[in-house]
Amino acid sequence: MPDRNWIMQWIIKPLVFVVCLIPLIWLIYDGFADKLSPNPIEDITHRTGDWTLRFLLITLALTPLRYISGRTEFIKLRRMVGLYTFFYVCLHFTTYLWLDQGFDLDEIIVDVVKRPYVTVGFTGFILLIPLAMTSTNAMMKRLGRNWKKLHQLVYVIGAFGVLHYLWLVKADVREPIIYAVILLILLGYREWIRRRTSNI
C-alpha cells in the first residue's frame, strides 16, 4: 500500500495542480465560446483578480488547516497554491497593462497615482514578486530566519488585495466584505497560534 509521501507526491499534488488551472481553462473556454460579458476586457480583469485573491486566502488557510486537522500534508501544498496566486496576479496585471492600457506607460503611471484601488493593487503585486522569487528550498536555506519574516508580508498583501477589491466595486460590496472577514479570521488565528506556541 502506498505511503502518505507517495500519495502526496504522485496523486494529491498533481490533482491540486490541475484543479488550480480550472479557472484559467474556464476563462479561455468562455472566451472562445463567446460567453464573456459585453465588456470582455473588464470580465477577464475581474475574473483573474478574483482568483488571485481566492488563491491567496486559500494559501493563508493551509496553515490553520494543518493545526486544526493535525495533518502536515496541507503545508506541502502551500508553495504550489502560493505560486498559483502569483500566476493569476500576473495574468491580472498583464490584462491591465496590455488589454486595458495598451502598454501606455504614461497612462499607467497616471492611473497608479490617481486611483487608490490601482495604487494598492499595484503595491500588492510588487510585494508578491520577492515572495515568489524566494519560494524555492535553496532560497529558504539562504535566507534562514529572514525567509519567514519576509513571507509574513503575505498578510499585508492580503489586506491590499481586499482593499483593492473593496475600492474597485461601486455598489455591491458583499463579496469583498466576505473576503475581508475571512482574512481577519485567518489573521486572528495566526496571532492566537503565535501566542500559544510562545507560551509553551
Instruction: Identify the pLDDT of residue 33.
Output: 95
pLDDT of residue 28: 97
Q: Which position has the grid cell 496585471?
A: 93
For residue 151, the model assigns a pLDDT of 92
62 inside domain? yes
Angle at 155 between CA 151 and CA 156, to 5 degrees: 100
The DSSP result for 6-60, as a single string, is HHIIIIIHHHHHHHHHHHHHHHHHHHHTT-S-SSHHHHHHHHHHHHHHHHHHHHH
Q: pTM for the complete prediction?
A: 0.94
Structural domain includes residue 156: yes
Domain that holds residue 190: 38-198
Q: Report if residue 143 sits inside a domain.
A: yes
Query: Block means of pLDDT (10 residues each) for the chain, length 200 residues?
Result: 80 95 97 93 95 97 88 88 97 95 92 92 96 93 91 94 92 92 93 73
Instruction: Round to whole Å and give the CA distance between 163 and 145.
Output: 29
Query: Is there a domain that residue 1 lies in?
Result: no
Residue 108 inside a domain? The answer is yes
pLDDT number for residue 107: 92
Phi, then psi, of 176 in degrees rounded to 5:
-65, -30
Contact present, 117 and 163 (Cβ < 8 Å)? yes
In a domain, 139, yes or no: yes
Any domain includes 171: yes
Is 57 contained in some domain? yes
How many domains does the chain divide into? 1
Query: Among 154, 149, 145, which residue's Cα sits nearest to residue 187?
Result: 154
